[in-house]
Structure 1
Amino acid sequence: MGPAKVAVPSPNDFLQKRSKEPKPAPKKKEEEDEKLLPLSVPRRTYHPVIRIKKNFIYKNAVAVIRGEPKKPQHFCVDTRQGDKYLLEPSGLFPKYTRKKNYGVIPKYVTRRNEELKREEEEYQASVLEQLKKKAMKTLSEEERTNVLKALKKNWEEINRAFQSLPVLTDTSYKKMHKQELELKLQQLEHDIAAIENHKTVYIANVEHRQHGHGLGQ
């Protein structure tokens, strides 16, 4: 008989504050990551709201200043009480787009265009007539051969004079004379090559020039 033997609690297991309240279940690692993610990096579906301060009074004032003024509407008042209606859809206001000859070129404009066209054709015809009168003459084969022989003979004479020049050109006159002969030789060589390379030769003047100026294909 006597009291039951009960284990005496340890002095370290003393009663603490809120020790008897129910404790929440431990959080999983995935839930912790989801809660930490918005704090570090925003999601793709996150769209920040950017607020821009606008001065609507200034904006409206600029729009009114730069805008086109409203066109007045035509009204017709037919009673003394002031009853009015729009004049344009009533049929009393003339609309030129409904005319029968709207968009048709006037006769005087057509007549003027025809006169201008006829004058242009007459001018072109007169120009062609003048060109035909001043047309260049074609050299025959015999004339072409004679011109070529004359050019070659002239080149030989100038080349002989060029070869007989002194070796030393110590004066300005000798230098100028040598340059003049060189230019003549170059021009004659150009004319001879042009006649030899082209069988058909035209001249602007009937009189043949000695150096072949005015020759061409």
Structure 2
Amino acid sequence: MATQSAQEGASGPPPQPAQPGKPARYISKYSELVRREAEKNKSQWKTMGPAKVAVPSPNDFLQKRSKEPKLAPKKKEQEGEKLLPLSVPGRTYHPVIRIKKNFIYKNAVDVIRGKPKKPRHFCVDTRQGDKYLLEPSGLFPKYIRKKNYGVIPKYVTRRNEEMKRAEEEYQASVLAELKKKAMKTLSEEERTNILKALKKNWEEVNRAFQTLPVITDTRYKKMQKEELELKLQQLEHDIAAIEKHKNVYIANV
């Protein structure tokens, strides 16, 4: 037992597996640049103006008469240029003489030659003499004196003309439509030709009816006989109607 413990003490405890450590924290390479920009613009707009204002120079003080308007500097004469003397006016030159007008005389002449003012119409409504102008009150018939009083306005005349034109166009379209649908009158020649054709058809149908056998013992013979009888009756009716009436009308379908 002592030997086993000595061997264990000499060799030591068994090695334990190394535990993985935490990864290094990520640090951006722009962090320093962002920090400097933030410190630079930290209090840039805390006031209404910029943080740093240029201090005026002591040499730029307000001098005496500096705000008074100054005349433009005179142009220096060019070298070698001389002023020419003024030209002498001609004999026909007449200077402009400004004559002062006599406004008092002018006003007097205007009053003498002017038309007298017409008296204004007043209306007195109380016994104390209270009065007011009659024209703006609405009691004065000033509208009947207008040049266009009682004249139909242009827009009313234009509207009436348009309505009349539209009515005429409508009536013309109705008449045209009625003419299209109107019945046509047969002439005497057409009536005679139709009557001859109907009589000729009647003779042909009658000849076919006469050639039928006397005994109709089959269904086909009965149907043929009834059909010929109906045709004869219709032809006789048409012939009688055309012979009875001289004026025959045909509708346009």
TM-score tier (shorter): 0.3 to 0.5
State the TM-score, normalizing by the size of structure 1.
Answer: 0.37
> Which has the greater radius of gyration?
2
State the TM-score, normalizing by the size of structure 2.
Answer: 0.32
